[in-house]
Homo-oligomer: A and B are copies of this chain.
């Protein structure tokens, strides 16, 4: 037995089943140990941003952590952007980062860096093992930390010699911290607020967007007329036909301010008070009216479902909330506008599908058009760091292999973690990528308008343009082992998407989008 083996035994005991990996030399003993157990599935990814994004998607859908296997400071650095997103999603992730043997640091070898300094930027919990013998305890603590409350990022740094030196025993699972109970006084406060005659919105985020909390929210709405709002970028929203419908707070600050103008009171449940994604000259950062009362009813680490149920009971709300009806819209015409794409998807999305939305400018419209699709889960880009969509869809598919996963993927964002396609092919993941090719960082053209910077020159606009050369996404997908086809009309897309929904395995549909970017801003 060496440290690596006792660590792996410990992780297996604690319930770890999947390792998303991009290992290097300093992790070879961990690789060997993973190779010896049949209880952890190792999944090779060809870039660390895929590793961390996949772990995020896995956690959102399974509710438990996967481990990532990362190579020293630069390996963790490549994983950072999607760990940032995972942190904002309150996902549980255990990073295992190999480092140089302890005595090797002093020689400043090329890969030497401050690994704990890297890890602290995104991780709630960071620890370096103290010895081979300590590794098992450290591993048990890492899973405990990651699994606590709503979910944490835990990073365990393993000096290479701790992995290869002898160790005697694994460690038992440690019990994670549970969700906190919302005190009765808070529930009474909410009862009073709901009865005060103010125009009220329940702002729902995190666990409030999942059953059974959603049902309780629907009951409260039925009893009080309070509007149910969804945070703009939910980690996981259960929606579609048969689910309690919510209105999403718009992304664009000007629209959101108008949208929220009527409310005199907001009850925050697993969500922050609405704030703009970015600041803009002359636009408020806080989106609710200044006079709007804010009640922080429950935070992400509270037992939101229990508190909402208690609140619904306290106001004697009706037992059955109104739910979304199934809606099928016929696309208007053959042009592949975001609305038409959304209509096709809404008609054909199978029940219990999982949608990973990194559609950016297109995604805002797709969300609206799929409100009445069959029941599905919607996973958004939580931290704003693009390159999340493909990895999250992949990780979700690993967590839920019997459910169809659809990735709504903007072209600019897809390129950040394009390596995901290869892992999808290798693992035969049942993911359909709807690649929205508008050959542009379209969102930035919108932002440029909103920021009212001086009239941009062609040279400035060229920095937002992906059309020279146009990326051939079918070639890229084929090169990475994923079957792909292109759709240039609604009929072509309908046929391709229908076929993808009817068959298993990874597939990419390159959709040549016709988009009026200005209209994105105006709606």
Which residues does A use to contact B, with CB under 8 Å?
Answer: 21, 23-26, 28-29, 31-32, 34-36, 38, 42, 44, 46-47, 49, 73-75, 77-78, 80-81, 84, 88, 100-101, 103-104, 107-111, 113-114, 117-118, 120-121, 160-161, 164, 233, 272-273, 275-279, 281, 285-286, 382-385, 387, 412, 415-416, 418-419, 422, 425-426, 443-444, 447-448, 451, 453-454, 456-466, 468-481
Say whether A31 contacts B456, CB under 8 Å. Answer: yes
Q: How many copies does the complex hold?
A: 2
| Smallest CB separation, A114 vs chain B (Å) | 6
User: Who on chain B is nearest to A415 by CB?
Assistant: B46
Q: CA of A183 to CA of B415 in the docked complex: distance in angstroms? A: 51
Say whether A42 contacts B459, CB under 8 Å. Answer: yes
Which residues of the partner chain B approach A88 to less than 8 Å between Cβ atoms? 110
Which residues of the partner chain B approach A419 to less than 8 Å between Cβ atoms? 415-416, 418
Given A108-B272, A111-B385, A114-B121: A101 touches B279 (CB 8 Å cut-off): yes
Which residues of the partner chain B approach A101 to less than 8 Å between Cβ atoms? 278-279, 285
Q: CA of A38 to CA of B457 in the docked complex: distance in angstroms? A: 11
Say whether A383 contacts B81, CB under 8 Å. Answer: no
Say whether A46 contacts B459, CB under 8 Å. Answer: no
Say whether A21 contacts B463, CB under 8 Å. Answer: yes
| Pairs across A and B, CB under 8 Å, 14 listed | A23-B444, A29-B453, A34-B460, A35-B457, A42-B463, A47-B415, A73-B84, A74-B384, A103-B279, A104-B276, A107-B285, A471-B480, A476-B479, A477-B479
| Smallest CB separation, A71 vs chain B (Å) | 9
Say whether A113 contacts B104, CB under 8 Å. Answer: no
Closest 3 CB pairs of A and B: A35-B460, A469-B481, A475-B479
Q: Could you say which of A26, A35, A49, A104 has the most chain B C-beta atoms within 10 Å of its C-beta?
A: A35
Q: Which of B103, B276, B477 contacts A285 (CB 8 A)?
A: B103
Say whether A23 contacts B463, CB under 8 Å. Answer: yes
User: Who on chain B is nearest to A276 by CB?
Assistant: B109
Q: Which of B120, B279, B478 contacts A104 (CB 8 A)?
A: B279
Which residues of the partner chain B approach A26 to less than 8 Å between Cβ atoms? 278
Q: Which of B46, B279, B418, B459 contacts A34 (CB 8 A)?
A: B459
| Smallest CB separation, A410 vs chain B (Å) | 12
Q: CA of A384 to CA of B416 in the docked complex: distance in angstroms? A: 21
Say whether A28 contacts B416, CB under 8 Å. Answer: no
| Smallest CB separation, A4 vs chain B (Å) | 8
Which residues of the partner chain B approach A114 to less than 8 Å between Cβ atoms? 121
Q: CA of A111 to CA of B279 in the docked complex: distance in angstroms? A: 11
User: Who on chain B is nearest to A274 by CB?
Assistant: B107
Q: CA of A480 to CA of B474 in the docked complex: distance in angstroms? A: 10
Say whether A469 contacts B25, CB under 8 Å. Answer: no
Say whether A32 contacts B456, CB under 8 Å. Answer: yes
Given A384-B111, A480-B471: A25 touches B278 (CB 8 Å cut-off): yes
Q: Which of B42, B49, B111 contacts A78 (CB 8 A)?
A: B49
User: Who on chain B is nearest to A19 by CB?
Assistant: B463
Q: Which of B35, B121, B443 contacts A113 (CB 8 A)?
A: B121
Given A29-B451, A279-B160: A110 touches B233 (CB 8 Å cut-off): yes
Q: CA of A461 to CA of B113 in the docked complex: distance in angstroms? A: 28
Given A29-B451, A44-B462: A74 touches B383 (CB 8 Å cut-off): yes
Q: CA of A201 to CA of B276 in the docked complex: distance in angstroms? A: 62
Say whether B107 contacts A161, CB under 8 Å. Answer: no
User: Who on chain B is nearest to A281 by CB?
Assistant: B164
Which residues of the partner chain B approach A111 to less than 8 Å between Cβ atoms? 277-278, 383-385
Say whether A77 contacts B80, CB under 8 Å. Answer: yes
Q: CA of A82 to CA of B44 in the docked complex: distance in angstroms? A: 22
Q: Which of B34, B279, B447, B469 contacts A422 (CB 8 A)?
A: B469
Say whether A444 contacts B110, CB under 8 Å. Answer: no
Say whether B42 contacts A109, CB under 8 Å. Answer: no
